[in-house]
A and B are shown apart, each in its own frame.
Chain A
Amino acid sequence: DIQMTQSPSSLSASVGDRVTITCRASQSISTYLNWYQQKPGKAPKLLIYGASSLQSGVPSRFSGSGSGTDFTLTVSSLQPEDFATYYCQQSYSLPYTFGRGTRMEIK
């Protein structure tokens, strides 16, 4: 199985900050990497697919990059509604494994 390692596991930031989350795959997954946002008590929401494509309806302050084994999710200017947990997930091969999540909290 492909292991997905996210860092940091949590971070504190302020509204307006630029933040970056990293995800590393245990083997090359090309650009088969997706990012999700999850708020308490809710289902995950797809933000980025194919490593860098913005899902319809997602604000442009979210962006993704990377290929192979190393990927990043960047939020250019944090808004109050962005404080949530973020997960990366590989869709290269079964089982489609997730990272352990990055919890983003208000500083």
Chain B
Amino acid sequence: QVQLVQSGAEMKKPGSSVRVSCKVSGGTFSTHTITWVRQAPGQGLEWMGRVIPVLGTADYAHNFQGRVTITADKSTTTSYMELSSLKSEDTAVYFCARPADRGTFDIWGQGTKVIVSS
């Protein structure tokens, strides 16, 4: 079955960037979008954006416009989420997810904890 496996935890300084990966195994990579969602400590889920691998295009939430880049590498069936100009408020667990249909997320990665601290 389809599995999403994310890269490990990161600790970053304010102002730096972080790149988190999401390896997709099983299924067909290009036929589904990959979405990224984040969850700050004790907070709810926040949709960040998605990539459409077959087109190589991405859509982003307004809150992250200009700071986030989501890509997909079809050769390695991996999606990447890069967040720049990090602030302490970006401390969160970042999840990738794949929708069964449209924006219905039935498959999730295990989450990657990113801590932003000086």
Contact = CB atoms under 8 A, between A and B. Distances in A.
A41 to B, nearest CB: 8
A26 to B, nearest CB: 15
B44 A87 contact: yes
Nearest to B59: A94
Interface stretch (B10-18, B84-92, B107-115): B107-115
Interface in B89-118: 95, 97, 99-106, 108-111
A99 B44 contact: yes
B45 A89 contact: yes
Given A97-B47, A99-B44, A101-B44, A46 B105 contact: yes
25 contacts: A1-B62, A32-B102, A32-B103, A34-B104, A34-B105, A36-B45, A43-B95, A43-B109, A43-B111, A44-B95, A46-B106, A49-B100, A49-B104, A90-B103, A91-B99, A91-B103, A94-B103, A95-B49, A95-B59, A95-B62, A96-B47, A97-B47, A100-B44, A101-B44, A101-B45
Given A32-B103, A50-B104, 13 more contacts: A1-B62, A32-B102, A43-B110, A45-B108, A46-B100, A49-B106, A55-B106, A87-B45, A89-B45, A89-B103, A91-B104, A98-B44, A98-B46
When A and B form their complex, which 10 residue pairs have the shortest distance between CB atoms, in order from nearest?
A: A91-B103, A43-B108, A96-B103, A98-B45, A95-B61, A49-B104, A101-B44, A100-B44, A46-B106, A95-B47
Interface of A: 1, 32, 34, 36, 38, 43-46, 49-50, 55, 87, 89-91, 94-101
